[in-house]
Amino acid sequence: MTLQAPGFWPPTGPEIVFLLLGVVALGSALLVVTTRQLVHAALWLVVCFGALAGGYLVLTAEFVAWVQVLIYVGAVVVLLLFGIMLTRAPIGRSADLDSGNRWAAALVALATAAVLVTVVVSGFRTAYAPLDPGQGAAKPLGSSIFRTWVLPFEALSVLLLAALVGAIVLSRTDIQGRK
Amino acid sequence: MNGTIQAPTIEYALLAPMLVVFGAAIVGVLVEAFAPRYLRSAIHVPLTLLSLAGAFALTIWQAAAKGIPTKAAAMGAVAVDGPALFIWGTILVLAFVSVLLIKGEDHFVAAASAVPGSAEEEQALHEGAAHSEIYPLVLFAVGGMLLFPAANDLLVAFVALEVMSLPLYLLCGLARRRRLLSQEAAVKYFLLGAFSSAFFLYGTALLYGYAGSIDLAKISTAVGSVGGQDTLLYIGAAMLGVGLLFKIGAAPFQAWKPDVYQGAPTPITALMASGTLVAAFGALVRVFWVGLGGLDWDWRPVLYGVAILTMVVGAVLAITQTDIKRMLAYSSIAHGGFLLVGVIATGKAAAQNASALSGILFYLVAYGFTTVGAFAVVTMVRDAGGEAWHLSRWAGLGKRSPLLAGIFAFFLLAFAGIPLTSGFFGKYAVFQAAVSGGALPLVIVGVVASAVAAFFYVRVIVLMFFSDPAADGPSIVLPSRGTAAVVGLAVLATVVLGVYPQPVLDLAHSAAQSLFVR
Amino acid sequence: MEPAEFITHSGGAIGVAWLMIALPLVGAAVLLLGGRRTDRFGHLLGVVTALASFVVAVLAFVQLLGFAPGERRRGIALYDFIPGMATKVGLLVDPLSISFCLLITGVGSLIHIYSIGYMAHDPGRRRFFAYLNLFVAAMLLLVLADNYVALFVGWEGVGLASYLLIGFWQHKPSAATAAKKAFIVNRVGDFGLLIGIFTIFATFHSLKFAEVFPAAHGASQGTLTAIGLLLLVGACGKSAQLPLQSWLLDAMEGPTPVSALIHAATMVTAGVYLIVRSGVIFQAAETAQLVVTIVGVATLLAGAIIGTAKDDIKKALAGSTMSQIGYMVLAAGIGPAGYAFAIAHLITHGFFKADLFLGAGSVMHAMNDEVNMRKYGALRKAMPVTFATFLIGYLAIIGFPLLSGYFTKDGIIETAMEHNAILGWLAVLGAGITGFYMSRLVFMTFFGAKRWEGDAHPHESPAVMTWPLIILSAGAIFLGGFLIVGNRFMTFLSPAVGLPEHLPEFNPVSLTGLVTLALVAVGAVFAWFRYGAAEVPAVAPRGSFLTAFARRDLYGDALNEALFMRPGQWLTRLAVFFDNRGIDGVVNGLAAGIGGSSGRLRRIQTGFVRSYALSIFVGAALLVGAWFVVGNL
The per-residue pLDDT for range B22-60, each reduced to its tens digit, is 999 999 999 988 988 888 888 999 999 999 999 999 999
* In contact, C488 and C123? CB cutoff 8 Å: no
How far B27 CA lies from chain C's nearest CA (Å)? 36
Looking at residue C580, its pLDDT comes to: 40
Q: Would the CB atoms of B467 and C601 count as touching at under 8 Å?
A: no
Inside any domain, residue A83 = yes
| Residue B444 touches partner C, C-beta closer than 8 Å | yes
* In contact, B261 and B332? CB cutoff 8 Å: yes
Region class of C377: left (phi > 0), else alpha (psi between -120 and 50), else beta: left
Contacts of B173 in chain A (CB under 8 A): 170
Contacts of B420 in chain C (CB under 8 A): 153
Looking at residue C551, its pLDDT comes to: 62
Indicate if the pLDDT at residue C591 is higher than 50: no
d(CA A1, CA B154): 22
How far A2 CA lies from chain B's nearest CA (Å)? 11
List the subunits that have 3+ CB pairs under 8 angstroms with B. Answer: A, C
CA C238 to each of CA C183, C235, C247, C271: distance values in angstroms, whole numbers, following the listed order: 10, 5, 10, 6
Q: Write down the ipTM of this complex.
A: 0.88
| Residue B33 touches partner A, C-beta closer than 8 Å | no
Q: Give me the number of domains chain A comprises.
A: 1
Inside any domain, residue A75 = yes
Which of B20, B172, B229 to substitute to test the interface with A, most A CBs within 10 Å? B229
Indicate if the pLDDT at residue C581 is higher than 70: no
Residues of chain A with pLDDT under 70: 1-5, 88-91, 174-179
**Touch test A–C: 3 Cβ pairs or more under 8 Å:** no
d(CA C374, CA C451): 7
Q: Check residue B290 and report its DSSP letter.
A: I
B474-491: pLDDT as tens digits: 777 778 888 889 999 999
How far B204 CA lies from chain C's nearest CA (Å)? 14
CA C95 to each of CA B328, B359, C494: distance values in angstroms, whole numbers, following the listed order: 47, 39, 8
Looking at residue C63, its pLDDT comes to: 86
C382-441: pLDDT as tens digits: 888 888 888 898 988 888 888 888 888 888 888 888 888 888 888 888 888 888 888 888
Residues of chain B with pLDDT under 70: 1-3, 104-105, 518
Q: Which long-range contacts (CB under 8 A, 24 or more apart) does C537-541 make?
A: C537/C374, C538/C374, C538/C375, C538/C451, C539/C374, C540/C311, C540/C374
Looking at residue B171, its pLDDT comes to: 93
Inside any domain, residue A126 = yes
List the subunits that have 3+ CB pairs under 8 angstroms with C. Answer: B
Judge if pTM exceeds 0.95. Answer: no
d(CA B327, CA B321): 5
| Residue B120 touches partner A, C-beta closer than 8 Å | yes
d(CA C9, CA C3): 17
Which residue type is seen at B229? Q
Inside any domain, residue A23 = yes
More confident residue, C530 or C106: C106
* In contact, C468 and C110? CB cutoff 8 Å: yes
Which of A135, A165, A176 to substitute to test the interface with B, most B CBs within 10 Å? A165
Closest-CA residue of A relative to B230 is A123
A43: CATH: 1.20.120.1200
The distance of Cα C602 from the centroid of its chain, to the nearest Å, equals: 42
Contacts of B206 in chain C (CB under 8 A): none
User: Which of B8, B126, B159 has its CB closest to that of A156?
Assistant: B159
Q: Would the CB atoms of B192 and C33 count as touching at under 8 Å?
A: no
User: Which of C187, C586, C597 has its CB closest to that of B320?
Assistant: C597
Q: How confident is the model at residue C583 (pLDDT cuts 50, 70, 90)?
A: very low
Inside any domain, residue A179 = no
Inside any domain, residue A166 = no
Which residue type is seen at C533? A
* In contact, C619 and B256? CB cutoff 8 Å: no
Closest-CA residue of B relative to A177 is B129
List the subunits that have 3+ CB pairs under 8 angstroms with A. Answer: B
Q: Would the CB atoms of A173 and B75 count as touching at under 8 Å?
A: no
Contacts of C183 in chain B (CB under 8 A): 458
Across the range C151-174, mean pLDDT stands at: 84
Q: Tell me the backbone φ, ψ of residue B386, rounded to 5 degrees.
A: 115, -150
d(CA C75, CA C90): 7
Which three-class secondary structure state does DSSP give residue C540? Answer: coil
**Which residues 126-145 of chain B have a CB within 8 Å of chain A?**
126-131, 133, 136-137, 140-141, 143-144
How far B389 CA lies from chain A's nearest CA (Å)? 26
**Beta C7-8 vs C74-79: how paired, if at all?**
parallel
d(CA B156, CA B148): 8
**Beta C7-8 vs B475-476: how paired, if at all?**
unpaired
Selection from C332, C329, C319 nearest residue C295 by Cα: C329
Share the mean pLDDT of chain C. 79
Indicate if the pLDDT at residue C4 is higher than 80: no
**Which residues 62-101 of chain B have a CB within 8 Å of chain A?**
74-78
Indicate if the pLDDT at residue C594 is higher than 60: no
How far A44 CA lies from chain B's nearest CA (Å)? 26
Percent of chain C predicted with pLDDT > 90 = 1
Q: Which long-range contacts (CB under 8 A, 24 or more apart) does A118-127 make?
A: A119/B206, A119/B231, A119/B232, A119/B235, A120/B209, A122/B229, A122/B231, A122/B232, A123/B206, A123/B209, A123/B210, A123/B229, A123/B231, A123/B232, A124/B209, A126/A5, A126/B228, A127/A1
Looking at residue C578, its pLDDT comes to: 39
How far A23 CA lies from chain B's nearest CA (Å)? 24
Looking at residue B369, its pLDDT comes to: 95
More confident residue, B195 or C201: B195
| Residue A160 touches partner B, C-beta closer than 8 Å | no
Selection from C287, C266, C265, C194 nearest residue C234 by Cα: C194
**What is the SS3 assignment for C27-38?**
HHHHHHHHHHHH
**Which residues 205-234 of chain B have a CB within 8 Å of chain A?**
206, 209-210, 212, 228-229, 231-232
The distance of Cα A15 from the centroid of its chain, to the nearest Å, equals: 21
Looking at residue B376, its pLDDT comes to: 93
Looking at residue C247, its pLDDT comes to: 79
Buried b (16+ CB within 10 A) or exposed e, C305-343: bbbbbbbbbbbbbbbbbbbbbbbbbbbbbbbbbbbbbbb
Contacts of B229 in chain C (CB under 8 A): none
Q: CA gyration radius for chain B?
A: 22
Which of B230, B319, B326, B418 to substitute to test the interface with C, most C CBs within 10 Å? B319
Inside any domain, residue A84 = yes
| Residue B348 touches partner A, C-beta closer than 8 Å | no
d(CA B111, CA B133): 11
How far C627 CA lies from chain B's nearest CA (Å)? 6
User: Which of B230, B238, B463 has its CB closest to that of C623?
Assistant: B238
Q: Would the CB atoms of C590 and B425 count as touching at under 8 Å?
A: no
Q: Which domain holds residue A52?
A: 13-131
Which residue type is seen at C264? A
C502-552: pLDDT as tens digits: 777 767 677 788 888 888 888 888 888 877 777 767 666 655 555 666 666
Q: Which helix (H) or strand (E) holds C74?
A: strand C74-79
**Which residues 146-165 of chain B have a CB within 8 Å of chain A?**
147, 155-156, 159-160, 162-163
**Which residues 101-160 of chain C have a CB within 8 Å of chain B?**
149, 152-153, 156
Contacts of B131 in chain A (CB under 8 A): 169, 175
